[in-house]
Amino acid sequence: MMASLFAAAHRTHAVARSDAAHRLARNPMVRYALLGIVAAVLVMAMLVPVGTAVIEGWSRRDVELRSRLLFRSIRDQIAATRMRADATGLAPLFDRIAEDERILALGICNDTGGLVHATRQMPRSVTCRALALGESDAFTTLTDENRRIHVGAFRLATEAGGGHLLVLHDLAFADARVRTARLYTVLSVAAVAGGVGLLAVGMALALVRSWTRSMREVVSEARHGRLIDCTKGRDMPAGREIAALIDDLRGEKAGAEGIHVEWSPKMLHRLLDEELPDAEVLVVSNREPYIHNRTDAGITLQTPASGLVAALEPVMRACGGTWIAHGSGSADRETVDAHDRVRVPPADPAYALRRVWLSEAEQDGYYYGFANEGLWPLCHIAFVRPTFREQDWQQYQAVNARFADSIVEEAGRDDPIVLVQDYHFALLPRMIRERLPRATVVTFWHIPWPNAETFGICPWRDEIIDGLLGSTILGFHTRFHCNNFLEATDRFMESRIDREHGSITLRGHETMIRSYPISIEWPPAALAGQAPPAQCRAAVVARYGLPADARIAVGVERFDYTKGILDRVAAIDDLLTRNPDLKGKLVYIQAASPTRSKLGAYSALQDETVRLAGEINARHGGDGWSPIVLSIRHHEPHEVFELFRAADTCIVSSLHDGMNLVAKEFVASRDDEHGVLILSGFAGASRELSEALIVNPYDTRSMAAAIERALCMPAAEQRERMRLMRDQVRQRNVYRWAAQMLLDAARLRKRERIVTASES
């Protein structure tokens, strides 16, 4: 019985193989391919004439419309010239119009059939008598020396006489359109036919393979003694195979989408290698990333308290290149080579720092004067009157020119990528553009950009905007600041603004306006080697002589009137006044480094903070305990992170800030997922860290309430909020910020190369 079944199965399989061989012998793939080719030829035979007629009709209507518009625009001038009987007056007008690449010639026919006032390119074969001239407009297509010419004739009825105006268009552009349309039609139909043919071949192969596989399953079943399903093989499983393949592809896609890309120095390196091979990167900023100072202990190295430096330094370590900055340290000159360069970081040099030397007068005018007494309060709208002096503006121009010279000296090629940083160098992009036309200039404005009315206060607003529009890309922290810049440019400059694509074209140069929210490196270098939060807390408690159970709030920034230091100190006062139970328990530690001490507004802020803290400590302190602790000195990054990890809450109460990286640093420091961030709604960081307690720093009572809520927040809620914010900072780190700008720069450089190649 089994032998007969096996024999039957074998015969069935033999029949299947014979049938498959017969199918292959008939070569269905070839048949389908031939059918596809025939169908494609038929479609092309129908579409090409139709497409040609449509394009020709469109071109003819286009030319007729252009001719009518030209006639209507110059007929009054023709009439006036003829009234003056000035036979030569029409020649300049006609020659100027004939400069249009599509207009071949112009002429005037008089009523006797003579051609007068014709331009030099008028073909000899075109005569007035050969044209059908009447009272209405007439259009004719002629052939002259193997080219088609469209002739439009328009009746001139003036007091000085009649006649007709002839407008001749060269139809070479229409013929080019027709050829292009034919080519695209043929290519499109060929592509469709090829796709259909490939699909037919694939289906035929699938049918043959599925039939063979089904028959093999029958043989396998017979060999194992199972009954043969005689219907098996009739229902082809191609549909099920395609469905399974689609499911597999969907699974692969979902897996790929589920993969989270974390930007890192390695990935930034790879980006540069792939998208910007052999690119030279130059960074320009006022503040340098490493400062050498001479002290009693010798030359010491200082990392400045600057959000700009904190963001850019890890990027430069990843990218390499050269950082050009003002050498402000007392021992900076002693540590550079003959070309004013020093390799940094000292422990593991990754890039060159080129220092630019400024005199005290230059620094007073450019930095303290125009930049920080003028632009800084103007852009921050901090209710401090901006001061603009002519001599400061002159120094600002001169220093920007000095830095432009340094960039040209450092550039090893004519198309470097120059990353210009901040409000100190508003004129620099235009200066670079004039000296290095092929450079890709990416300017990032680290502070807010005010509304147009506010910016209009600046006496040199046009020069500032013009300088920035020398950039290839101009970046701001938020879309709101981008919109403010577009509005200011629209109000004060004659330019073309494309709001849909976010670009401004000034004197033929297009600048892209983009938002790039700046961030910090991940993981932060200052987090390496940090003790656990409990040990950090113990160290801070011991250092400041605090009670072991103290609730610690911290603030970290420079003594700057835009940071809202007085406002948060006032909120602590209000909280202790309304909640006396917190006396002896709540301590606010303000770590603030002096800055711009030459300017009265900054030194006055420091004095006022010291005075107010003394009053609050006298009012609420006692028994050796002070609710306000001021630490007025420069704090190294590892000290700042120790404070963050020890704190119950961090208060960032900026009155106006472009981004504020202190908020992101606090979040990054809390790998224990504890602690509460209190964040001003006027800081750009509030757009990204919405899980913080967002406050209005001008509202003292609500600030105090937020601090109280932070101190009472359950650990589970702290963890949930902190986890979301840490994910945000990790994903949108500084390497991603830099990558966005560099990718945009790479795309623009590629587009420029394509345009240049096509023009040549």
pLDDT at 733 over 60: yes
Q: How far apart are CA 664 and CA 668, in angstroms?
A: 6
**What pLDDT is recorded for position 109?**
86
Counting Cβ atoms within 10 Å, is residue 165 exposed (0-12), middle (13-18) or buried (19+)?
buried
What tokens appear for 112 in the block? 């006797």
User: Could you tell me which of 680, 677, 688 has the C-alpha nearest to residue 655?
Assistant: 680
CA angle 160, 164, 169 (to 5 degrees): 140
Q: How far apart are CA 634 and CA 558, in angstroms?
A: 9
20 band by pLDDT with thresholds 50, 70 and 90: very low
Other CB atoms within a 10 A radius of the CB of residue 117 amount to: 23
CA angle 614, 616, 619 (to 5 degrees): 110
φ and ψ at residue 479, rounded to 5 degrees = -65, -30
Largest distance between two CA atoms of the chain: 119
Sign of CA dihedral 648, 654, 660, 662: negative
Question: What average pLDDT does the segment 623-650 reach?
Answer: 94
* pTM of the entire predicted model: 0.65
User: 428-435 and 461-468 are packed helices; what angle lies between their axes, rounded to 10 degrees?
Assistant: 50
Sign of CA dihedral 35, 36, 40, 46: positive
Q: How far apart are CA 70 and CA 97, in angstroms?
A: 9
445 band by pLDDT with thresholds 50, 70 and 90: very high
What tokens appear for 59 in the block? 């071109």
**What pLDDT is recorded for position 87?**
58
pLDDT digits (tens, 9 = 90+) for 349-383: 999 999 999 999 999 999 999 999 999 999 998 78
Please give the torsion angle defined by the CA atoms of residues 240, 243, 249 and 250, in that order, rounded to the nearest 10 degrees.
-140
Q: How far apart are CA 627 and CA 587, in angstroms?
A: 5
User: Could you tell me which of 396, 411, 403, 27 has the C-alpha nearest to residue 200?
Assistant: 27
φ and ψ at residue 486, rounded to 5 degrees = -60, -40
Q: How far apart are CA 164 and CA 301, in angstroms?
A: 86
**What pLDDT is recorded for position 483?**
96
Q: Among 3.30.2000.20, 1.10.1240.10, 3.40.50.140, 3.40.50.2000, what is the CATH number of 525-731?
A: 3.40.50.2000
30 band by pLDDT with thresholds 50, 70 and 90: low
CATH 3.40.50.2000 positions along the chain are: 274-515, 525-731
CA angle 505, 509, 510 (to 5 degrees): 50
3-state secondary structure of 734: helix
Q: How far apart are CA 372 and CA 236, in angstroms?
A: 78
Please give the torsion angle defined by the CA atoms of residues 30, 34, 35 and 36, in that order, rounded to the nearest 10 degrees.
100
User: Could you tell me which of 484, 406, 474, 391 has the C-alpha nearest to residue 440?
Assistant: 474
pLDDT digits (tens, 9 = 90+) for 530-577: 999 999 999 999 999 999 999 999 999 989 999 999 999 999 999 999
Residue 587 forms beta bridges with which residues? 552
Q: Domain 274-515 falls in which CATH fold?
A: Rossmann fold (3.40.50)
Q: How far apart are CA 422 and CA 285, in angstroms?
A: 7
Q: What is the mean pLDDT of the chain?
A: 85
Note the Cα 102 to chain centre separation in Å.
39
pLDDT at 449 over 90: yes
